[in-house]
Amino acid sequence: MPAHPASPSRSAARLRAACLATGVVAAVGVACAGCKPSARATGGDAGSPATMSPVVLDAGAPGRPIELFTWWQKTAESDALEELSAAHRRRYPADVLIDATAGASGQGRSTLRRRMESDEPPDTFQANAGNDFMQWVLVNGVDDSASKLLPLDGLTADVAEWRRAMPKALLDLLTHDGKLYGVPSNVHRINTLFYSRAVFRRFGLTEPKTIDDLRRIAHRLQGTGVWSIALGSRDPWTLALLAFECLLVAREGPTFYESYFGGRLHADDARMIADLDAFLEVVAMANEDHAQLSWLQAVDLVASGKAAMTVMGDWVRGALANRGLKLGDDFGEIAFPQTDGVFVFTSDAFGLPKLAKNREGALRLLETMGSVDGQRAMNAAKDALSARTDVPPGDSMLEKKLALMKSGPLVLALSGLVPARFADDVAGGLADAARQHDAEPALHALRSRYALLR
């Protein structure tokens, strides 16, 4: 997740001190000459260019560092990477971890693609379970003969434990021909809406259960100076989340969503056209400067009472909590209207590149990620569900999500369903549509790229 603008200085100072104390700064500079810098070190927000060197997360005895590439970001005092580092240090005190964070997810994927295609991979990296991850296994589009990742079976005995403790449906998204290529670190619910209880009390609003309720809230707030919905679309994937993973699922149901993005329908299906019109209607409820803001800056509008709601994956919960807001008192979390019984999910997964410079170290880190201690540490920081069913949820909200995840229906996020080229081009079409207040650019992108789904 993106970095909180006000928080990195103290963390960066701690990390620099740790580097100096162990004398590994020079080694870091050599080992990571091609790394993408960390937004955590720059103090920049999501999507801003990174300008400093990667950060040493774990300053153990000098040795070959383990480069960990993610788009996770620090939010206030909560940092999943630092928690993972602490858990890994308990297991392997001598390992040195390098945080090669690359800003927002769109920026991170572009940077990762360049490195993977030039055969300069990090030692391990984040991708979303499904197509986003498996593109590096099925490089030739047919089988794993040209895979850029190693199967983990046979490399670590922990695979057998993961198969017992993690849902088969989740591991299947990281598996080809019976071989597991990745370790899932969490499970996030995409179709969620967060709202300010203070704003709702002030204007006498109630939790929206239907899309019509969103319209009523927007009408009630018109002219008050408070936006109905906070939106940050500087990274256009947030528009796809709203249009498809939330609105389309709400309006047409998960079966249509999966059929459409499985390439089994027509690109200009009338139901998709109607959904794009509904998307523009919701965008019209949002802050006018959304194209200049990140999703995290949109969260700040809700936290400050300048907007009533925001639509985003449930990682927002941690972002709000780390601004000193309490779930149930200061903000509420609900399913996106008309999707209460549906779990649209994604999972961050990590694999082992064939050309990893520190294969043994990366494998040790993957073992930590898949362990009970590692999963508990990372997901406590992210307020997320663990990928392991034997790690108890931290509170009643997570317990409800776990029950829903087990009962279904489970609906895979767009990043797991479609090729990256399709997702990027359609997100760009949605951005054009939002800017022009016309659905045609988004529909054109869907028509021109739909063949990629077949």
Q: Classify 8-187+348-400 by CATH class.
A: alpha beta
What is the model's pLDDT at position 54?
Answer: 52
Count of Cβ atoms closer than 10 Å to residue 233 Cβ: 27
| Domain ranges, ordered by start, for the chain | 8-187+348-400, 189-345+412-453
CATH 3.40.50.720 assigned to 189-345+412-453: no
Give yes or no for a contact between 183 and 338, defined as CB atoms under 8 angstroms apart.
no
Give yes or no for a contact between 145 and 179, defined as CB atoms under 8 angstroms apart.
no
Fold equal for 8-187+348-400 and 189-345+412-453: yes
What is the model's pLDDT at position 103?
Answer: 60
- The full length of the chain comes to 454
The predicted model scores a pTM of 0.85
What is the model's pLDDT at position 381?
Answer: 87
**Under-70 pLDDT residues of the chain:** 1-63, 73-78, 102-106
